[in-house]
Amino acid sequence: MTKSELKDRIDVAMHRRPADLVIKHANVVNVFTGDIQEEDIAICKDRIAAVGIDYQGEKEIDAKGLFAIPGLIESHIHIESSMLTPEEFGRLLLLRGTTTAVCDPHEIVNVCGMSGFDYMRRAARRSPLDMKFMIPSCVPSTPFEHSGARVLADDMEAYIHEEDVPGLGEMMNAVGVYNGQEDVLEKIAMAETGGKMVDGHSPGIVGEELAGYLAAGIRTDHECYTAEEMRERLARGMYVMLRYGSACHELPQLLKNVTPFNARRCVLCSDDRQAATLLRNGDLDELLRICVREGIDPIVAVQMATINAAECYGFRDRGAIVPAMRADIALVSDLTSFSVKKVFAAGSLVAEDGRYLLEVTREKIDAVAGRMHVAGQVRDHIRMQLNSSALPEMSPDKRGLLPEGAAGTARVHCIGMQPGSILSTDEIRDVYVDGEGNFIYDPSSDVAKMIVMERHNGLGTAGKAFVCGYGINRGAIASSIAHDSHNLLVVGTNDKDMEVAANRLIKTGGGVCLAGDGEVIAELPLPVAGLMSDRSGMEVSDALKQLEDIAKRHLGINSQLEPVMSLAFMSLPVVPDLKLTDMGLYSVKAGGFIPVEVS
């Protein structure tokens, strides 16, 4: 900022010269006072010069009848979960009034290391959406899986002082924090020394363990599931991120605990939001609608999506429509539907009536393409032989009701999936096996085989288990999206279709594939690290919708689950309870691996 630029801004505020742009007659929402007044917003370059009456500008836009709210701030999101690259992701968020996003590129860094971090930042600079990038703090997220990279404090040092890096991403290794694990503390100390913050991730952590976690200076959490957890975190000075994305829907439940006293420590976030969800439901504008529907005062809701997030991350230049702030502004029809009519990012009109007004240019993806390095034969990884008990003697008519080839049963732990949640349960089920102990799918039950294969460094490791609640009753689904290490995940009712789906992704460089009757029946290629598409949001959304329709209609997958997103979290060993990694079946409650078979 030069003296000349400051003088120009002051002159505009003092009516001594016209503004570059004036938004006239808007109902301006003041997030500091809670007032709404019809005023002009005078903009000089990328900043708000003044909010008042009778301002003139080189360009003027009449906003009579519309409400001006600060550009929305997405406080925690993984771009990769949209399956879009940052350029297209930015376009879709701007259409919905979001002008800043705090992004955690944890997914691509787990696959590609810091070269993935570099790619995301380069691509983001091609969009007027101001994307801030937290350095992923846990790569790998745990020692219970193999990722494509290992990021240490020394690797982070080169980035921590960058302007677009607010700090460290979600610290998932809560146990490592409160137990004083040296490499974990080294990362946190580096961030604190650099004056940067550390995001939290502490599901189920309470009491003394939470106290130890917070003593490290961690001040946010988007993993609250109960009123008690939320109240404890707020009482200890944390910002609680109220989440509503494609797979996680805690927001309505947690809003019941928002009060006039604690609302300013609550922020809104999506965490994970697919392209189809963005196009169909929007971004934070959807969360604002939910807030109002659940009885939250509209201005309080706007605060949670703007100034609260800005203060949480120390963004002193945004979050409110007042002088000297960035001219990030959304004009909406009302404070109930929050239908976005115009969006200004850093003083420029970038979206209007659902149209993006700029050209989308793309960063090359060569440095992060593919990354599907599965060692050995897929059929060998899928093969799984169980110890079984012989079937009792039974009459021919009863035996005729059994699955073909059934010779015995085995009692196993199943990963129990739950609609609307990334949490899972430990379900004990009996499954049929053939004479060699191979799993035989039983149409009368809801148990399928699940395999996670290491895909980064050709290690040849594969975890094997079972899943229930997913609903699949035919064929198989394979995905290279498998939080957080993103190994190759396959679920199916039979080995042949599982092999077809997995091999297809290895050949094409990653994505999602459905197989049935020994053939590929639907697929969504994701050439960017096996996580993102280089196509438009509409193309990705249409392809994903078609794939999900086929998954539910032809494979029988539970209609209450998002077939891809929900499944992706079943390999995440930092969220309770039972999860599968390439190293085996992990129980968060037990704090270690457990055998698939029940002894």
What is the DSSP pairing of strand 220-221 with strand 488-492? unpaired
The pLDDT tens digits of the residues spanning 496-541 come to 999 999 999 999 999 999 999 999 999 999 999 999 999 999 999 9
Strands 19-29 and 67-70: parallel
Q: Exposed (0-12), middle (13-18) or buried (19+): which is 434, by Cβ within 10 Å?
A: middle
The rounded distance, in Å, linking the Cα atoms of 568 and 7 is 53
Instruction: Provide the angle, in degrees to the nearest 10, between the axes of the packed helices 86-95 and 537-553.
Output: 90
CA 132/CA 146 separation, integer angstroms: 27
- Which contiguous run of DSSP H or E holds residue 342? strand 340-345
Which amino acid, one-letter code, is at 60?
Answer: E
Look at residue 478 in the predicted model and tell me its pLDDT: 98
- d(C-alpha 16, C-alpha 8), whole Å: 9
Cβ partners under 8 Å of residue 143, min gap 6: none
pLDDT at position 394 is 75
Distance CA 313, CA 102 (A): 9
Indicate the pTM of the whole model.
Answer: 0.91
CA angle 202, 287, 537 (to 5 degrees): 95
Q: Would you call the peptide bond into 484 cis, given omega within 30 degrees of 0 as the criterion?
A: yes
Query: How far is Cα 37 from Cα 389, in angstroms, rounded to an integer?
Result: 75
Q: Which residues contact 301 (CB under 8 A, 6 or more apart)?
A: 268, 287, 288, 291, 292
Left (φ > 0), alpha (ψ -120 to 50) or beta: where does 511 sit?
left
Q: Give the dihedral sign, CA 242/138/565/532.
A: positive
Q: Is the torsion defined by CA of 429, 435, 441, 443 positive or negative? A: negative
Residues constituting the chain: 599
Tens digit of each residue's pLDDT (9 = 90 or more) over 157-192: 999 999 999 999 999 889 999 999 999 999 999 999
Q: How far apart are CA 307 and CA 264, in angstroms?
A: 9
Q: What angle do CA 517, 462, 592 make, to 5 degrees?
A: 130
Question: Are 36 and 27 contacting, i.e. CB atoms less than 8 angstroms apart?
Answer: yes
SS3 percent helix, strand, coil of the chain, rounded to 5, is: 30, 30, 45
The CA-based angle 198-122-355, given to 5 degrees, is: 100
Query: What is the phi/psi pair of residue 194, to 5°?
Result: -85, 5
pLDDT of residue 534: 95
- Strands 389-390 and 355-356 turn out to be unpaired
pLDDT (0 to 100) of residue 562: 87
Distance CA 228, CA 254 (A): 10
Distance CA 46, CA 324 (A): 9
- Radius of gyration, CA atoms only, the chain: 25
Whether the Cβ atoms of residue 67 and residue 341 lie closer than 8 Å to each other: no
Three-state DSSP state, 121: helix
427-440: per-residue pLDDT in tens? 999 999 999 999 99
Domains and CATH numbers, the chain: 70-318 (3.20.20.140), 369-593 (no CATH)
Q: Which residues of the chain have pLDDT under 50?
A: none
Burial class (CB in 10 A: 0-12, 13-18, 19+), 14: exposed
Place of tokens 């309870």: 577
Neighbours of 283 (CB within 10 A): 28
Q: How far is CA 117 from CA 83, 109, 111, 313, 536, in A?
A: 16, 6, 10, 20, 21
Q: Cα–Cα distance between 78 and 270 in angstroms, integer?
A: 9
574-to-226, 246, 561 alpha-carbon distances in Å = 17, 19, 20
